[in-house]
Structure 1
């Protein structure tokens, strides 16, 4: 057989293993536990106090769509919101106060921590300040949520009920990202698909977990566990802060749950390829621990897993190489089939599934660009700040 045929057979074998042996990552049924017809059961000892901490840097564009949803939570217990204005230049802090006056609801405190001290990433510096203020209120839970995340009115109630009913220390939902533009439709569902492939939710949620991760946009964290895990100080230099947070909680003996959200949405727009490219590439090389060998392995893996199948099918058909065409077509079919549940979750047309190899090629180029930007001194850049390699967590995150 030809080299192309052997490559296609290897790709097909990998896809069969991914289909059956990678925690059924492609399924989208990991949803918030302890939910009964959209209503959360009343805890036996009453609803605990919760403080919501929102780090925000130059978020005036999205804040009118997200902050009112937090203020409007119908949580039955005591709750309040702390928005940490992380050096914004667009009036984020003032706008937050105006929105609170206009909409009412939960009490809002707006505060600013000043510029980060050396060794801290901006978001974690803001969280440090917000969590310190929150702990003075002695809450049982902290809800850490990004400024672009909108919550349905019962979101907090359902999160707390899930944590209480299942004795969880960290409950994280991957917010449903915005999918409106042509590029968002092509790239966003694949972003979540690739994340789930790397961190299968079932493995994370097992009694004996085989993986650890969280989604930073929506994290309900037990305050005592945050103290035991020394969060956020223990992860102050982490660029991939959500995964680092989950690992710190796990090391402290905490129980973690991660799943897809139904009632938590990101309102941040990524209308063009450039915005999506920067969103992905700013931290991809940090995810690879700034390691050139891991980069090379990732590129080779993406080529074999995602690019070889369509190339083998088309080249094999043209050249009359039946084994290459058959194996490439079968691998491509399995690949597309595993992508269908994520497209359904995002309510996107199913004909996008065969385009996954093209999207994977874009992610490959974004990954390489992330490394290039790092070596040019512009890696992990976000809203005017650039974090060097020393800011990636040294605890293996």
Structure 2
């Protein structure tokens, strides 16, 4: 037994080193206080200078582009939040009905007609993506081409609800900081038990891969965004070639962030409680499908990256509790101490995302179990791709990119 724990001390110490590096040197990914600052209410000074000596306000024009496929059920809850924006400048909304079969476009038109912004809303009907294009990116591009030139484009999903000051705050932050991309990780649902288990770990893992501190740093190559809410400076996007360079991207938000940053754009990513995803995932099956749909694509459909990811998850999240508890029970403290220390660092770093979602701190030590589920979802994602069912979403199947 002593020999066994002497061997296990090696991965225990390795895990501790990994967690020290993650917490201390991974861009403060665990911080959940990177949020939009408040801005003055409408009628006060705008973030942009007035032109021609005019003392009035001048807010840049904004076009909201909403790609929507079979979203008739959720649009009555989400679309009115866009129609109710209090933005002081020119604002138009373009919803692209991506070959829906449930009357999504008709629902959007009815909601627009009943609002005061009806004349500022366009609903376009798409026939699906052309060859070489991913469905969502093609719909985004259709909306972009229909938008007025200049200003900003806000790409937002059809299931996202916005507070009335959402556009104003996004634009104010972009103008004040000179940001070309301002993106927010929308607050996901945690009403159901499965959501409370899986969602915080999803957010935690996303920021571990794409630390906001590195995304906004011009000295780092790390880039990304959260697709539910992406405000982009139109001029910068056109300089990058529009959306054509990422036409086939299955993970469009990260691809857009990379595209912009490669061309010298300044990018910013933060968290929010007020911009919310309204789509429920009431059971584990729905959440499993959501993650398995794109996990293998994130690994570029590479089996070697899959193997490395599974081993990395085992070392980072599996070793600390297993070796820590077993070592402590056997008085093998050479292995137990580093493993338990790694588990403690993991637990402490997970607390901020639990606070963001107003969930109890007792969930933090359970993170290894949740990450074991993520490992299983990733393996299942690879299995689906191998069987030709990768990325299945609303009747469309993403072909493997391997």
Moved more, 321-330 or 164-173: 321-330
Shift in Å, 1:330 = 1.4
- Residue 119 in 1 paired to residue 132 in 2? yes
Aligned equivalents of 2:203, 2:34: Cα separation in 1:
13
Question: Which residue of the partner structure matches residue 44 of structure 1?
Answer: 49
Shift in Å, 1:114 = 1.1
Question: Which residue of the partner structure matches residue 72 of structure 2?
Answer: 60
Q: 2:149 aligns with which of 135, 138, 152?
A: 138
CA contact (8 A) 1:178 1:268 kept: yes
Q: 2:115 aligns with which of 90, 98, 103?
A: 103
Q: Deviations over 1:33-75 (max 9, x none)?
A: 5x34788851222011111100000112221111000000000
Q: 2:296 aligns with which of 282, 285, 288?
A: 285
Question: Which residue of the partner structure matches residue 186 of structure 2?
Answer: 175
Question: Which residue of the partner structure matches residue 20 of structure 1?
Answer: 24
CA contact (8 A) 2:39 2:172 kept: no
Question: Which residue of the partner structure matches residue 395 of structure 1?
Answer: none
Aligned equivalents of 2:396, 2:328: Cα separation in 1:
50
The TM-score with structure 2 as length reference comes to: 0.93
CA RMSD of aligned residues (A): 1.6
CA contact (8 A) 1:51 1:139 kept: no
Shift in Å, 1:328 = 1.9
Shift in Å, 1:295 = 0.7
Shift in Å, 1:327 = 2.0
Question: How many residue pairs align between the two structures?
Answer: 388
- Residue 82 in 1 paired to residue 94 in 2? yes
Aligned equivalents of 2:79, 2:268: Cα separation in 1:
25
Aligned equivalents of 1:389, 1:232: Cα separation in 2:
21
The residue correspondences of 1:142-157 to structure 2 (distance < 5 A) are 142-157=153-168
Question: Which residue of the partner structure matches residue 105 of structure 2?
Answer: 93
Give ranges in structure 2 of 5+ residues lacking alignment.
51-57
CA contact (8 A) 1:54 1:82 kept: yes
Question: Alignment partner of 1:381: what SS?
Answer: coil
Give ranges in structure 1 of 5+ residues lacking alignment.
393-397
Question: Which residue of the partner structure matches residue 355 of structure 1?
Answer: 366
The residue correspondences of 1:335-350 to structure 2 (distance < 5 A) are 335-350=346-361
CA contact (8 A) 1:283 1:370 kept: yes
The residue correspondences of 1:1-397 to structure 2 (distance < 5 A) are 2-33=6-37, 35-36=38-39, 41-42=45-46, 43-45=48-50, 46-105=58-117, 107-134=120-147, 137-390=148-401
Shift in Å, 1:105 = 3.0
CA contact (8 A) 1:229 1:248 kept: yes
Q: Deviations over 1:114-136 (max 9, x none)?
A: 121111111011111111101xx
Question: Alignment partner of 2:126: what SS?
Answer: coil
Moved more, 170-179 or 325-334: 325-334
After TM superposition, the runs of 4+ consecutive aligned structure 1 residues lying more than 6 A away are 37-40
Shift in Å, 1:30 = 1.5
The TM-score with structure 1 as length reference comes to: 0.94
